[in-house]
């Protein structure tokens, strides 16, 4: 069996016990600066090694509801690579992403970061990883700027100018101070994706990042993900559509072909 952290949970001061929703409720009542001074400990940047595999899964198995989704799964993700996880509904795509992100424990096997188990280096993982789940993960009562101020503080606090510029990159210029509950589903997704245009960690794990985006938004995100990999960084993602723009280090893993 497995142990899962709450969906959308955030690492706060290196601890996963605080959910993103609970933290955003706090910020709505206490204010950005006060909450940051109380809880947030900015994490130093860490350079990932370019000479060896960075993220590895070794003999990985995942069971849910007494059903084995996959087993004996092996993968390696090195700097500059993009890995697309594909497969039919229920094949374990999101579960695999959560395992690679340290949000869930495997039934068997282990996940390694720079050769060491994730369970032994939670802080190292928090410094290197940006996780975006299937849900947008933003608070409707907060504005786009307030949501990003909080979410970025979990890794590397960003200035107001940087946040506004990131929102402009995703087509939300003029919506910086608009409560997110008034935005469309696609616009809310863009608020979440604006984190990818800030000073984000080198490893991105993204669950269905293209959800609710229009054609222009899909094309822009594909290009941005490819450019991230070309800088020597890494992306793991799930999506049901065929990517038109991929980096040289693109690979695909079809979990539908691995089911027991």
pLDDT digits (tens, 9 = 90+) for 166-198: 999 999 999 999 999 999 999 999 999 999 999
Residue with more model confidence, 205 or 41: 205
- Across the range 20-31, mean pLDDT stands at 47
Q: Write the CA distances from 99 to 167, 198, 227, integer angstroms.
A: 30, 25, 25
CB 103 within 8 Å of CB 9 = yes
Q: Write the CA distances from 39 to 13, 18, 22, 48, 150, integer angstroms.
A: 7, 11, 13, 26, 11
Q: Which two tokens stand for residue 105?
A: 């424990």
User: What is the structure's pLDDT at 1?
Assistant: 38
Q: Sheet of 55-64: strands edge to edge?
A: 67-77, 55-64, 108-113, 116-117
pLDDT digits (tens, 9 = 90+) for 213-241: 999 999 999 999 999 999 999 999 999 98
Count of CB atoms situated within 10 Å of the CB of 63: 18
The CATH label, of 3.50.50.60, 1.10.10.10, 3.40.50.2000, 3.40.50.300, for the domain at 22-257 is 3.40.50.300
The answer, yes or no, to whether residue 140 has pLDDT greater than 80, is yes
Backbone angles phi, psi at 258, to 5 degrees: -115, 0
Mean pLDDT (the chain, rounded):
83
User: What is the structure's pLDDT at 50?
Assistant: 44
This prediction has a pTM of 0.80
Q: Sheet of 203-207: strands edge to edge?
A: 129-132, 203-207, 234-238, 81-86, 249-254
Domain ranges of the chain: 22-257
SS3 77: strand
Q: Write the CA distances from 133 to 189, 202, 244, integer angstroms.
A: 11, 17, 22
């Amino acid at each position: 069996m497995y142990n899962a952290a709450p969906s959308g949970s955030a690492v706060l001061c290196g601890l996963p016990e605080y959910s993103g929703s609970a933290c955003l409720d706090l910020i709505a009542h206490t204010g950005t600066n006060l909450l940051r001074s109380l809880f947030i400990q900015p994490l130093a940047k860490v350079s990932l090694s370019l000479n060896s595999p960075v993220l590895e899964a070794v003999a990985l198995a995942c069971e849910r509801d007494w059903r084995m989704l996959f087993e004996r799964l092996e993968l390696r993700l090195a700097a500059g690579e993009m890995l697309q996880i594909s497969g039919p509904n229920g094949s374990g795509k999101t579960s695999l992403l959560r395992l690679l992100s340290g949000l869930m424990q495997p039934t068997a096997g282990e996940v390694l970061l720079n050769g060491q188990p994730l369970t032994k280096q939670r802080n190292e993982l928090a410094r290197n990883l940006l996780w975006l789940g299937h849900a947008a993960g933003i608070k409707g009562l907060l504005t786009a700027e307030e949501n990003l101020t909080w979410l970025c503080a979990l890794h590397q606090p960003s200035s107001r100018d940087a946040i506004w510029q990131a929102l402009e990159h995703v087509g939300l210029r003029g919506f910086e101070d608009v409560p997110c509950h008034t935005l469309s589903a696609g616009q809310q997704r863009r608020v979440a994706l604006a984190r990818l245009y800030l000073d984000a960690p080198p490893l991105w794990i993204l669950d269905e990042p293209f959800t609710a985006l229009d054609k222009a938004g899909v094309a822009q995100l594909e290009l941005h993900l490819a450019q991230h990999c070309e800088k020597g960084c890494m992306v793991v993602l799930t999506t049901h559509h065929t990517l038109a723009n991929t980096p040289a280090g693109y690979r695909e893993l079809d979990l539908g072909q691995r089911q027991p």
